[in-house]
């Protein structure tokens, strides 16, 4: 895809194209946004534009302003086969970018380009950089080789080391807001229906069951989507070591996306519990995050105090923080739900 297809990111695209037109492209960019998929697509298009052999638009300085998406260079970049466009992703069970990976990338970045005008290195999920990997990156990030562009991607900019952020031009890649879909509302309605105090402990475990069932569906959907996009599905004859690398990258990508979507789901639960708290304050209905669920949230607000409603919000926040560590997911969620006052 070319820049013209990024309908929801036209402000970011326009900024990049102005920089290309003026020959003032930054040497390092930090792209932030809600979905890594969108960020990767934009980074890939920038890499293609920098190296396109038949650009549909070109500035007076000779730099392309968009890519044709059809020449050999564009096709190679689309298929992750271009020698001068490198991608670095979290690997291993710990879902981090290790210093050994970073050193391998930097060695490649400092080599002379084999076929491209610009060398491009893309670091996916820069918030997953080990501190040692980030430190190894700093000098190159500050003084990259000539005709090279470093692009860092993250959906969690607050978790990127400040020493990294300060050396990059940060661009927020806007997109359509994730709406409270009918599917999410239906699930939250089912979830809130299990918050029945007369059911005692059994009702609380039913609540846990609803949450775990939804998370299992989320993981299955992610696995299906990302596996379908993986080069493992396209290149059956790849060398064993390359297949092993792809498998590690796929496993890490699935886990990272699952954790992101799990955080979103728990954030929706927290937002609904915020509605309960607002009801205890008799706040304006216009402030509700889920006005469609006002009846359920008001029902719970009638039996909890303002202090208890506020503590519920803190419980979910603490559970989210716990899940960022390597605790056992089901246990952390069970403990969290048992602490809620509903």
Average pLDDT score over the chain: 86
3-class DSSP assignment, residue 117:
coil
Distance, in Å, from the CA atom of 297 to the CA atom of 299, rounded to the nearest integer, reads: 5
Percent of the chain with pLDDT over 90: 27
pLDDT per residue over 269-297, tens digit each?
988 998 999 999 888 887 788 888 888 89
Per residue in 20-37, pLDDT tens? Answer: 888 888 889 999 887 888
pLDDT value of residue 174: 63
DSSP string, 60-98: TTS-BSS--S-SHHHHHHHTT--TTEEEE--BTTTTBB-
Q: What is the pLDDT of residues 163-199, one digit of tens each?
A: 888 888 888 776 444 445 788 888 998 888 887 666 5
pLDDT reported for residue 149: 92
DSSP H stretches of helix in the chain? 10-21, 36-51, 72-78, 99-109, 131-142, 162-165, 182-193, 200-229, 240-280, 294-301, 306-324, 329-339
pLDDT the model gives residue 117:
86
Residue ranges covered by each domain of the chain? 3-172, 182-339
Residues with Cβ < 8 Å from 61, sequence gap 6 or more?
21, 22, 23
pTM assigned to the model: 0.60
Using DSSP bridges, classify how beta strands 85-88 and 119-123 pair: parallel, antiparallel or unpaired. parallel
182-339 classified as CATH 3.10.129: no
Q: 64, 57 in Cβ contact below 8 A? A: yes
CATH number of 3-172: 3.40.50.300
Q: Looking at the DSSP assignment, which residues form a beta bridge with residue 86? A: 121
Q: Dump pLDDT digits (tens) for 228-266.
A: 888 888 888 888 888 888 888 888 888 888 888 898 899
With a cut of 90, say whether residue 103 has pLDDT above it.
yes
């Amino acid at each position: 895809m070319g820049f013209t297809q990024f309908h929801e990111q036209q402000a970011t695209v326009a900024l990049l194209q102005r920089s290309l037109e003026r020959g003032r492209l930054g040497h390092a960019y930090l792209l932030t946004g809600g979905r890594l998929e969108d960020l990767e697509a934009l980074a890939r298009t920038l890499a293609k534009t920098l190296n396109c052999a038949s650009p549909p638009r070109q500035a007076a300085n000779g730099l392309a302003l968009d890519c044709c998406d059809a020449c050999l260079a564009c096709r190679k970049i689309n298929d992750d086969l271009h020698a001068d466009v490198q991608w670095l992703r979290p690997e291993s069970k710990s879902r981090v970018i290790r210093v050994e990976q970073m050193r391998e990338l930097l060695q490649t970045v400092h080599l002379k380009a084999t076929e491209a005008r610009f060398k491009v290195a893309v670091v996916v999920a820069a918030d997953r950089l080990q501190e040692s990997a980030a430190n190894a990156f700093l000098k190159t990030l500050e003084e990259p080789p000539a005709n090279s562009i470093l692009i860092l991607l993250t959906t969690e900019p607050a978790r990127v080391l400040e020493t990294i952020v300060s050396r990059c031009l940060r661009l927020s890649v806007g997109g359509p807001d994730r709406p409270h879909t009918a599917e999410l509302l239906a699930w939250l309605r089912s979830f809130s229906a299990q918050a029945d105090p007369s059911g005692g402990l059994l009702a609380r475990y039913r609540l846990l069951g609803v949450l775990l069932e939804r998370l299992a569906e989320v993981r299955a959907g992610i696995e299906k989507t990302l596996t379908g996009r993986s080069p493992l599905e396209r290149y059956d004859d790849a060398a064993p070591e390359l297949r092993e690398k792809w498998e590690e990258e796929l496993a890490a990508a699935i886990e990272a996306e699952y954790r992101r979507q799990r955080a979103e789901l728990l954030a929706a639960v927290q937002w609904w519990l915020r509605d309960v708290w607002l009801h205890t304050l008799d706040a304006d209905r216009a402030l509700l995050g889920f006005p469609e669920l006002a009846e359920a949230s008001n029902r719970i607000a009638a039996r909890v105090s303002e202090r208890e409603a506020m503590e519920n919000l803190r419980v979910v926040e603490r559970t989210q923080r716990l899940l960022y560590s390597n605790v056992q997911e089901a246990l952390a969620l069970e403990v969290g739900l048992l602490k809620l006052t509903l």
